[in-house]
Amino acid sequence: MKLNSGTLLITGGGGYIGSHTVVQLQAAGYRPLVLDNLSNCVPAVFERIEQISGQPVELIEGDVRDSVLLERIFSRYPIDAVIHFAGLKAVGESVQQPLRYYRHNVQGSLTLFEAMQRHGCKRLVFSSSATVYGPAATMPVNEQAPLAACNPYGRSKLMVEEMLGDLAAADSDWQIALLRYFNPVGAHPSGLIGEDPVGVPNNLLPYVAQVAIGRLPQLQVFGDDYPTPDGTGVRDYIHVMDLADGHLKALQALTDGHGCVPYNLGTGRGYSVLEVVAAFAAESGRPVPYDIAPRRAGDAAISYADPTFSRQQLGWRASRDLAEMVRDHWRWQQRNPNGYPTE
Ligand code: NAD
Ligand code: UFG
């Protein structure tokens, strides 16, 4: 089966990971149709994608929970496969607003899968997360490790993974890749697209970038008493372009009899918070002042992937190192100090 030049539905294609994946899909000759409700992206992202690829983005503005709209989309377009990014992703917010998370992430997914089933479109790449392994997992973690999400966001991902496992068990025509992302960072090397968080960033790299550019005064390092070499948390940061390439490899792997298969998308190497801060200061030439704050509730000490299975099965491996991640993130930050233009 060859999917190249096929029409793909990309839910959440205006978001951070989706936008980089759309660029790579266009470059590879696919026709990505984006379904996005613009709740966490702005229309400018689509102009930027067009600037990079030279190809227009076909945007359907709407919600993945809207079954009437999905019915229209699947009736109108010959969709070969779906990449499902759309959803909410802030762990802390999910603890405060669990029902909203289950509605977007679980009900949204269910509505989408039902529409796919009705139309016989049974190839899917799903955005899952390393958070499904839970904070007590042994590192490096492989896909066979026990699953134990510990907050509503993580449970929403786990529920969808389980739903998809049941679906593939019931109907062997379904071909599903569950992509468990580690910590996506960086930006397209053009500096035209990148991560544009609303308000104060939750995640390390966008926070550090905003300190370096002068939008935030200093970083709080959440804990320096973890059992790690320098006491700060260790994560498997992965360049968003490597992640985007992983989606193309996963799509190509969706061949007959694939079933529902989880893949880690990580580099296999962990960096501490202080190593990231040092790398950012070195690449940007700007100071990144920080102080040590208490541990953040729910944080694991160490999280990094065993990417062996993805390498063997998908022929994929991350090729960009921390310096490149930080350099590309900084380029994006410098060229867009306030994120995407909003008008
Ligand atoms: P993002 O918020 O930048 O992108 C999500 C996109 O989906 C946004 O453009 C938003 O407008 C859209 N959207 C949200 N709810 C929608 C709905 N109900 N209908 C239609 N569109 C909707 O997030 P991202 O960082 O690009 O993450 C993409 C996916 O990857 C998410 O499912 C997220 O949970 C998962 N993930 C992200 C990370 C990370 O650190 N960024 C890590 C692991 C997994
Ligand atoms: N950190 C700080 N200060 C900050 C922000 C983060 O010290 O201001 C530290 C954290 O304590 C952690 C590391 O930087 O040690 C990385 O934190 P992030 O918030 O960037 O990333 P997480 O690993 O906590 O979370 C990410 C995604 C989640 C996902 C999780 C597991 O944001 O959605 O990975 O896959 F659930």
Evaluate whether residue 16 is within a structural domain.
yes
Closest Cα to atom 28 of ligand 1? 85
pLDDT at 3 over 70: no
What is the C-alpha to C-alpha distance for residues 277 and 263, in angstroms, rounded to an integer? 29
Q: Which atom of ligand 1 is nearest to the CA of 104?
A: 18
* Coil/strand/helix, residue 79: strand
Does the Cβ of 18 fall within 6 Å of ligand 1?
A: yes
Strand partners, 264: 180
Ligand 2: residues whose CB is within 6 Å?
89, 91, 129-131, 183, 202-204, 207, 219-222, 233, 235, 273, 296, 299, 303
Please, are residues 125 and 263 in contact by the beta-carbon 8 Å criterion?
no
Q: What pLDDT, in 10s, does the model give residues 121-139?
A: 999 999 999 999 988 899 9
Q: What pLDDT, in 10s, does the model give residues 9-35?
A: 999 999 999 999 999 999 999 999 999
Evaluate whether residue 109 is within a structural domain.
yes
Q: What pLDDT, in 10s, does the model give residues 180-214?
A: 999 999 999 999 999 999 999 999 999 999 999 99
Count up the domains in the chain and report the number: 1
Please name which ligand lies nearest the alpha carbon of 219.
Answer: 2
- The domain that holds 108 is classified in CATH as 3.40.50.720
Cα 79 to the chain's mean position, in Å?
22
pTM of the predicted protein model = 0.98
Evaluate whether residue 136 is within a structural domain.
yes
Band (5; pLDDT cuts 50, 70, 90): low
Evaluate whether residue 176 is within a structural domain.
yes
Nearest CA-CA partner of 125 in 36, 239, 25: 25
Evaluate whether residue 285 is within a structural domain.
no
Evaluate whether residue 197 is within a structural domain.
no
For residue 90, report the distance from its CA to the centre of ligand 1, in Å: 10
Please, are residues 139 and 304 in contact by the beta-carbon 8 Å criterion?
yes
Does the Cβ of 36 fall within 6 Å of ligand 1?
A: yes
pLDDT at 4 over 70: no
Can the peptide bond before residue 140 be classed as cis, meaning omega within 30 degrees of 0? yes
What is the C-alpha to C-alpha distance for residues 178 and 247, in angstroms, rounded to an integer? 10
Evaluate whether residue 271 is within a structural domain.
no
What is the C-alpha to C-alpha distance for residues 41 and 256, in angstroms, rounded to an integer? 35
Reply yes or no on whether 133 is catalytic: no
Task: Please give the single-letter amino acid code of residue 248.
Answer: L
Nearest CA-CA partner of 293 in 210, 212, 209, 204: 204
Q: Averaged over 142-149, what is the pLDDT?
A: 96
Evaluate whether residue 331 is within a structural domain.
no
HSE, CB side, 13 Å, CA atoms: give it for residue 77: 25
Range of the domain at 122: 7-184+238-266+307-318
Does the Cβ of 13 fall within 6 Å of ligand 1?
A: no
Cα 225 to the chain's mean position, in Å?
29
